[in-house]
Amino acid sequence: MVLDDARNKLANDYQFSLDELRPRPSDVGPLVRLIQSRLNTEHAKLLSYDALTMIFDSSDGSMRDDGNKAAHEAPHADRVDSVLEVTLTKPQRDLLGNIYYFAHGKEPDFERAA
């Protein structure tokens, strides 16, 4: 959900179509570099190459793939909790925190996932 929110904000703020922001796995790197070249200074501080890759990479085992599986397999009321239950490494949690801040303008509350 957070990754989709960030993708939608990039589309709106930087005039990308949503189709452009749904790359094939082989096109993720070039898309990330294109987006990095357009980001303003504030957004560039939040969205590193790794954070942007997390937003767009939908290959098997990626954060997006795992989150989609967790969200789609859970009942609607449990979707947020099911996504938060995914074990995140410290670097992943930091990247996701930056992505959340970019998308929502506030710090995330990951306490439930700890």
User: Can you give the pLDDT of all 114 residues of the chain as single tens digits?
Assistant: 789 999 999 999 999 999 999 999 999 999 999 999 999 999 999 999 999 999 999 888 777 766 666 655 555 444 444 445 556 788 988 898 899 999 989 888 765 544
Cβ 7 vs Cβ 55: under 8 Å: yes
- Looking from the CA of 56 toward its CB, the CA atoms found within 13 Å total 28
Number of domains in the chain: 1
| Boundaries of domain holding 87 | 2-113
Structure tokens that stand for 18 in this block = 């949503």
